[in-house]
């Protein structure tokens, strides 16, 4: 039928051990990313499907090279997590011309042409930003004083950085006391978060809240705050996104105040998508990951069973 993109539906399904999938990962910038890589690799190993894996070290040019090499090798499917949103049309058109279906995992591309990918599997980053903002609205519901917020942004141009900033900004606009007094990228890394936070602390004597687009940058900020002789979680409140183990531990320890969960466990769902396509079926264009949020008390409860 016409359901399967990629054009080899006529050939019928391949045996799973004959399938080859190329995966172009962003890098190893955070605890989230490491957990994501591990989960994807083990899901494919468990399914008995060959996975070719490349690490782009957070550089789009490396990712494009990896995708081109997968096209050249004639893999059956390509999956990737686009480091930034824009600039993918050329290489995705090459994959399309070669009849290789592409699945986006975790991060979105900003393209007018939706035929360039089969499905986008990942979180709703705008909603994550809104959840972070909502916690602040509740936490400071009774305040009539200004609340000074600094924001540690993810990788510039990346979907989660753009959308987490947008959702948060929309929410906190509901209370005039909230003000983002500084916002800069820490590139989703611990070192980046620490460095930017050090600079923020030097130039802003009165910071009430840190909103970090991921746990790692929040953990870096904790180091900077402690080095400045302040108590994270008390003198300065910290909100982060991800809920990886180190983040959850800091939340349980009272150094982070609230975490919005973003699940890196996309491996099994990605395998299911590939199997469905291989069988000639169709998949949803957008598959949204289900996620929750954690307070300090909830982190203490959840920590023992946390997988990553
Ligand atoms: O939040 C961050 C990672 O794209 C959702 O990338 C992912 C983000 C995640 O570096 O920790």
pLDDT in tens, the chain (308 residues): 344 444 444 568 999 999 999 999 999 999 999 999 999 999 999 999 999 999 999 999 999 999 999 999 999 999 999 999 999 999 999 999 999 999 999 999 999 999 999 999 999 999 999 999 999 999 999 999 999 999 999 999 999 999 999 999 999 999 999 999 999 999 999 999 999 999 999 999 999 999 999 999 999 999 999 999 999 999 999 999 999 999 999 999 999 999 999 999 999 999 999 999 999 999 999 999 999 999 999 999 999 999 89
- The answer to whether the CB of 164 is under 6 A from ligand 1 is no
What distance in Å separates the CA atoms of residue 248 and residue 88, rounded to the nearest whole number?
34
- Residue 170 neighbours by CB distance under 10 Å: 13
CB of 194 within 6 A of ligand 1: the answer is no
CA-nearest residue for atom 8, ligand 1, is: 160
Contact 13, 281 (CB under 8 A): no
> How confident is the model at residue 2, as a pLDDT?
40
Ligand 1 lined by 107 (C-beta under 6 Å): yes
ipTM: 0.99
233 burial (CB, 10 Å; 0-12 / 13-18 / 19+) is middle
In ligand 1, the atom with minimum distance to the C-alpha of 188 is 10
Q: Which atom of ligand 1 is nearest to the CA of 241?
A: 1
Q: What is the pLDDT of residue 10?
A: 56
Four-point Cα dihedral 53, 91, 77, 113, nearest 10 = 130
Q: Is the pTM of this model over 0.90?
A: yes
> Is the CB of residue 128 below 6 angstroms from any atom belonging to ligand 1?
no
**Is the CB–ligand 1 distance for residue 242 below 6 Å?**
yes
Q: DSSP letter at 21? A: E
* Distance (Å) of CA 104 to CA 34, 121, 127: 18, 6, 19
Angstrom distance (rounded) from CA 254 to CA 251 = 5
Ligand 1 binding pocket includes 32 (Cβ within 6 Å)? yes
**Start-to-end C-alpha separation, the chain:** 41
Q: Rounded CA gap, 203 and 182, in Å?
A: 10
75 within 8 A of 100, measured Cβ to Cβ = yes
Predicted confidence at residue 3, as pLDDT, reads 42
CB atoms within 10 A of CB 307: 11
Ligand 1 geometric centre to CA of 13 (Å): 34
Ligand 1 proximity of 80 Cβ (cutoff 6 Å): no
Q: Is the CB of 252 under 6 A from ligand 1?
A: no
Q: Calculate how far, in angstroms, residue 130's C-alpha sits from the geometric centre of ligand 1.
A: 16
């Amino acid at each position: 039928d016409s359901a399967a993109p990629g054009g080899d539906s006529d050939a019928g399904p391949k045996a799973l051990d004959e399938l080859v999938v190329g995966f172009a990962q962003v890098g190893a910038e955070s605890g989230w990313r490491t957990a994501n890589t591990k989960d994807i690799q083990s899901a494919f190993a468990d399914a008995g499907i060959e996975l070719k894996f490349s690490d782009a070290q957070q550089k789009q040019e490396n990712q494009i090279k990896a995708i081109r090499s997968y096209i050249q090798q004639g893999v059956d499917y390509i999956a990737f997590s686009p480091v930034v949103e824009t600039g993918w049309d050329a290489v995705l058109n090459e994959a399309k011309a070669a009849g290789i279906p592409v699945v986006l995992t975790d991060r979105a591309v900003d393209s007018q042409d939706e035929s360039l990918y089969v499905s986008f599997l990942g979180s709703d980053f705008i909603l994550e930003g809104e959840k972070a903002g909502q916690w602040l609205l509740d936490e400071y519901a009774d305040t009539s004083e200004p609340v000074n917020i600094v924001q540690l942004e993810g990788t510039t141009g990346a979907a989660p950085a753009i959308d987490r900033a947008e959702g948060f900004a929309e929410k906190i606009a509901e209370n005039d006391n909230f003000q983002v007094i500084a916002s800069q990228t820490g590139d989703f890394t611990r070192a980046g978060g620490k460095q930017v936070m050090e600079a923020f602390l030097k130039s802003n004597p009165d910071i009430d809240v840190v909103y970090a687009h991921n746990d790692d940058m929040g953990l870096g900020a904790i180091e900077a705050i402690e080095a400045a002789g302040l108590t994270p979680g008390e003198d300065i409140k910290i909100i982060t996104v991800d809920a990886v183990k180190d983040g959850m531990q800091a939340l349980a320890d009272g150094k982070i105040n609230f975490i919005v969960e973003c699940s890196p466990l996309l491996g099994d769902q990605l395998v299911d998508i590939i199997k469905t396509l291989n069988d000639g079926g169709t998949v949803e264009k957008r598959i949204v990951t289900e996620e929750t949020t954690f307070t300090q008390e909830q982190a203490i409860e959840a920590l023992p069973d946390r997988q990553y």
